[in-house]
Amino acid sequence: MNNAEFWASVNSIIGDGFTPEGLQKLDSYAEQFISGRLVYQRFSPREQHGCAEGGATHVIASLLAGAKAGTDSEHQAALGDFKRECQLGAQQEAVIEQWAKRVYSWYDNVDQFLEISFGYQLAEGGEAIVYDHGSTLIKSIGLDYFIQPIFALDRISLHNAYFPETTMKVLGFGRTAEGDFKVIVEQPFIEGSHVSEAKIAEFAQKMGFNLINSKNWTYSTPEIYLSDLHDENVIRSKEGNVFVVDCDIRINTPELKCGGKRKLNTHIEIINYL
């Protein structure tokens, strides 16, 4: 199976309304993705592993979003075309919602559901609401920074790749009472203290990131854009280890104007072992 045949298969599964046979095929694709036999060239091997660490629900949602990301040229143009980006985002939301409802991982009025399940919210940030779940946190993440679900799902993959100590597992999806699309994730709870901006800068630079803008805590390499790395998103444990619990992390394309060299794509390669 080549790239065109793979995406034709996924789009056929979508067009058929996610029949039992189609759902079984998606599960097979997720299994191949996680085992490394299906290579998603959007990511480096490390990043594909990070996507897999988000769980099969995350992998399938990422592939479904990829099916509605447009051609590579449209995908790049969408970064500078807000209307087109909104159209692609709406298509991706609709497909993920249809699938998630078929596999019972969709939650209407998601904030009310999470409040009933886990109690009142522990914290609220610019795009996420956080609930206490003992040794883990449950987060309801919106698309405020991304518009398209594919970029929010990328963020989870990249976070898991570069900050595996605080891996996010995707539990499902939903909408608020206002109709806003949400990704529901579970993440380890890290007890500790905040880290100074100077120490955060030192930590990021040791990882190979260069400081781009101290006002919005932005760092980058030619491969990765990393922002929002402020003292509320980085924790030092009692043992002195530093953990990034939240950040804005993206594939660093030239359009972000932070020295990025990567191009977005959704090419698939199937590896057939003899």
Total domains in the chain come to 3
For residues 78 and 28, membership in a common domain is answered with: yes
Q: Across residues 83-99, what is the average pLDDT? A: 95
For residues 135 and 125, membership in a common domain is answered with: yes
For residues 167 and 245, membership in a common domain is answered with: no
* Contact between residue 108 and residue 174 where contact means Cβ atoms under 8 Å apart: yes
For residues 11 and 89, membership in a common domain is answered with: yes
For residues 95 and 166, membership in a common domain is answered with: no
For residues 78 and 116, membership in a common domain is answered with: no
CA distances from 239 to 53, 190, 236, 242, 273 (A): 25, 11, 8, 9, 44
* Contact between residue 168 and residue 185 where contact means Cβ atoms under 8 Å apart: yes
For residues 93 and 118, membership in a common domain is answered with: no
d(CA 90, CA 111): 20
Q: What is the CATH number of the domain that holds 121?
A: 3.30.200
* pTM, entire model: 0.93
For residues 7 and 88, membership in a common domain is answered with: yes
* Contact between residue 107 and residue 174 where contact means Cβ atoms under 8 Å apart: yes
pLDDT tens profile 41-62: 999 999 999 999 999 999 999 9
Model pLDDT, residue 78: 52
Q: Across residues 20-47, what is the average pLDDT? A: 97
SS3 assignment, position 235: strand
Model pLDDT, residue 71: 54
For residues 170 and 238, membership in a common domain is answered with: no
Model pLDDT, residue 274: 44
Q: 162 lies in which domain range?
A: 106-188
Place of tokens 């608020």: 176
Alpha helix locations (H) across 36-148?
Answer: 45-53, 56-67, 72-78, 82-102, 110-118
